[in-house]
Structure 1
Amino acid sequence: MGRRDRLEQRLALPLALVAAVGAVSTIGYWWLWRPYGASWLEAAYMTFITMTTVGYGEVYPLSPAGRVFTMVTGFAGIASLFYVFGVFMDYLVEMGTSGERRKRQMEKLASGMNEHVILVGLGRVGNQAAEELVQGREPFVVVESDPDRVAWALEHGYTVIEGDGTEDEVLKKAGIERARGLIAATGDDATNLFIVLSARSLNPKLYIVARAEDSSVIAKMKKAGANRVIDPYAIGGRRLANLVLHPAVVDFLETTLRRGGAPISIEDIIISEDSPLVGKSIAELNLNRRYGVVVLAVIRGKETLVSPPAEYVFRPNDQVVIMATVEQLERFVREMEKQEEENQRKRAAKERGER
């Protein structure tokens, strides 16, 4: 509902009271002045100067009853007009302060987020990224400077920080020190480059994905600190070609990569030092039989091992790409997190004992 609609709704009752007082008063003056042959215009004129306290003289003489009627008309008219004025001023004050109040509310929400994603730019590409984050139930904060896009994001329930994503203060309000990832999705390469530079300086561990309209900028963005740089047009072209060449493969990958309701999902996990997977082989863990999880690949440093053998032993910082149903993945992650917390407690207790 827009601001104009809200104002019209608020003014509906007070304006109706003004109209009612005016109509009753006009009929009353016309009836009082029947002996003088007064017209409806003269009665309406008397009503107007009484309600607005203009102070002109009576159009026709008034009896004592007519003067009492005039006093009642004046009181009711002034009260109803002040009611309209009060509602309108209250609306103006609210509109003047709602922007600041909304900003403080959004900043408070963002300050309570950890390990979230910051999405800078809510154009066509940014909208798609936001939808994917929503489907994946991933907490995220939108940074946008366009008031119309900010209003649209608020209507969809997004947490929004209004401002320029190239400014450090705006990124700090979005919680960049606590974020785990940032998506620079504006339509301007120079803006995205500045966003990457600012984000990398504020959080060296942040995983940054940037959009590039010109392929010649990709190398510069990576030097500035972007982990990945995406050319939407190149990806779109490859996808169109692959839909013709390998439609079944594209459909399968879309199904597995789509979150929220997809029967099969592909995820990646990073193995920490306290993970129960450390020091154990794929055969020893028996992930497929126990959890229904299939290990597709392991990324160790710059080396990627596709379909690792059963004797492969996991190490800390390995990035493991796995595939399973959504339910199987959730059960596997819960179990791993539970065992990881237990290992952390044991390590902490051991360190305290050694001291």
Structure 2
Amino acid sequence: MDRSQRLEARLAVPLTLVALVTAAGTVGYWLLWRPYGATWLDAFYMTFITITTIGYGEPYPLDDRGRMFTVFVGTTGIASLFYVFGVFMDYLVEVGASGVRRKRLMEKKAAALREHVILVGLGRVGRQAAEELAQAGESFVVVERNLERVAWALEQGYLVLEGDATDDEVLKKAGVEHAKGLIVATGDDASNLFIVLSARALNSSLYIVARAEDADVLPKMLKAGADRVIDPYAIGGRRLASLVLHPAVVDFLETTLRRGGAPISIEDILITQDSPLAGKSIAELNLNRRYGVVVLALIRGEETIVSPPAEFVFEPGDQVIVMATVEQLERFVREMELQEGARRKERLAREAKGG
């Protein structure tokens, strides 16, 4: 039940009481003044000025019975109106307080996040990005100033902060200093450029992906600190052409890159100093037979090596692109992380003894 429905339910009883008092008063005054030829409007008017405490003169004389009846109508009517007023004011206070509580709760949750992604803007592009992040199970916080979009994000269960991301304080509340990535997806190039500048100043290691409407803005975004700049219209045009020219390839890539329910997946793995892959060749690791993982490519600095040979040796800093089923990749990544953690502890222990 939403707030408007809750308000209607809470107002049902007091409004019913007001209606009953008004109806009873109108009938009562009409009966009392029937000898004077009073109309229903005269009776309703008397009831109205009584329960609203306006207190103009009576249209017709009242005897003792009429005065006692007026006391009854005034008491019950005023009480009913105060009941309505009280319920409505309580609702307004509740809405205001819940909004403040929700905002504080969201800010508290965002401040507790580490290694998360910040998504700025919930237009058509931003919503697609949010859905992808949610399907991937990634921790992220949305920053949006449009109230309708904020309401939509809350309905989806997203962590959202209402505010302008061009303000450094808003970015700090979103945890930019502890985030690993930032997606800037508003439809305003000037705002996007300013957000990129601010975010880069607040976190030098942040990976920033920004949207650009104008192709001339792309180099400016990169100079401002963005790691990648995306033109959604250019990407959409290339995809349309590719669907005509190579539909099977596009379908395959969409299947492998789609999160949630995809049979196979493509992931990138960074080789660290403590990685169990460092210093070993593809043949020595035998990833395909042991884990069902296929090495598609490797990025080393500015060089990209497609389908590296079996004797190729991994080095720290290499970015490896691998493909396997979702289950195989999860098992592979989990084991690599466990071995990497154990190696890191051993290295730190040796360094501590050596120190």
Superposed CA deviations along residues 251-287 of structure 1, whole A, max 9, x for unmatched, are: 0000000101111110111122222222222222221
Shift of 1:8: 4.0
Match of 1:88 in 2: 88
1:101-116 counterparts in 2 under 5 A? 101-116=101-116
State how far apart, in whole Å, the 1-side matches of 2:206 and 2:198 are. 11
In the alignment, the residues of structure 2 paired with residue 68 and residue 57 of structure 1 have an alpha-carbon distance, to the nearest angstrom, of 16
1:207 aligns with 2:207: yes
Query: What is the CA deviation profile of residues 65-112 of structure 1, one whole-angstrom value per residue up to 9, with x for unaligned ones?
Result: 544433222221111100111122233334444443332222112112
* RMSD, aligned α-carbons: 2.2
The answer for the alignment partner of 2:238 in structure 1 is 238
Superposed displacement of residue 244, structure 1: 1.2
Q: State the AA in 2 paired with 1:247.
A: P
Q: Which residue of 2 aligns with 1:316?
A: 316
Structure 2 Cα separation of the partners of residues 194 and 52 of structure 1: 56
Give me the whole-angstrom Cα distance separating, in 1, the residues matched to 2:325 and 2:198.
Answer: 38
1:160 aligns with 2:160: yes
Go from structure 1 to structure 2 and tell me whether the alpha carbon gap of 1:15 and 1:247 turns closer, same or farther (over 3 Å shift).
same
TM superposition score normalised by structure 2? 0.92
Q: How do 1:35-46 and structure 2 match up within 5 A?
A: 36-46=36-46
Partner residue, 1:190: 190
- Partner amino acid, structure 2, of 1:190: A
Q: Does 1:276 align with 2:276?
A: yes
Tell me how far 1:40 sits from its aligned partner: 2.5
Give the Cα separation in 1 of the matches to 2:275 and 2:158.
33
Determine helix, strand or coil for the equivalent of 1:74.
Answer: helix
Q: What number of residue pairs does the alignment pair up?
A: 355
Q: Which amino acid aligns with 1:222?
A: L
Query: In the alignment, which residue of structure 1 is the partner of 2:138?
Result: 138
1:297 aligned to 2:297?
yes
For residue 128 of structure 1, what is the amino acid of its counterpart?
Answer: Q
Shift of residue 7, structure 1, vs aligned partner: 4.3
- Determine what percentage of the aligned residue pairs are the same residue: 75
Partner of 2:250 in structure 1? 250
Q: Does the residue aligned with 1:27 lie in a helix, a strand or coil?
A: helix
Displacement of 1:214 in angstroms is 2.0
Name the CA distance, whole Å, in 2 between partners of 1:109 and 1:284. 44
Q: How big is the shift at 1:324? A: 0.8
Distance 1:290 1:55 in 2: 91
Point out the more displaced range, 306-315 or 202-211. 306-315
Offset, 1:58: 4.7
CA distance in 1, matches of 2:263, 2:55: 78
Give the Å deviation of 1:168: 1.4
AA in 1 matched with 2:154: L
Q: 3-state DSSP class of the match of 2:179? A: coil
1:171 Cα deviation after fit:
0.9
Q: d(CA) in 1 for partners of 2:173 and 2:166?
A: 12
Secondary structure of 1:288's counterpart equals helix
Aligned counterparts of 1:292 and 1:19: Cα–Cα separation in 2: 74
After TM superposition, give the deviation of residue 9 of structure 1 in Å. 4.3
SS at match of 1:221: helix
**2:327 is the alignment partner of 1:342:** no
CA distance in 1, matches of 2:268, 2:247: 24
Q: Which amino acid aligns with 2:217?
A: V
Three-state SS of the structure 2 residue aligned to 1:351 is: helix
Q: Which 5+ residue runs of structure 1 have no aligned equivalent? A: none
Deviations 1:124-161 (A, max 9, x none): 21111111111211111111222222222222222222
Corresponding residue SS for 1:275: coil
Amino acid corresponding to residue 195 of structure 1 in structure 2: I
Q: 1 CA distance for matches of 2:97 and 2:235?
A: 44
> Letter of the aligned partner of 2:182 in structure 1?
L
Cα distance between partner residues in 2 of 1:235 and 1:108:
37
The whole-number CA distance in structure 2 between the counterparts of 1:36 and 1:218 is 86
**CA deviation string 1:196-229 (max 9, x = no partner):** 1111111111111111222222222112211111
Q: Distance in 2 between matches of 1:336 and 1:68?
A: 88
Q: How does 1:19-34 map to 2 (within 5 A)?
A: 19-34=19-34
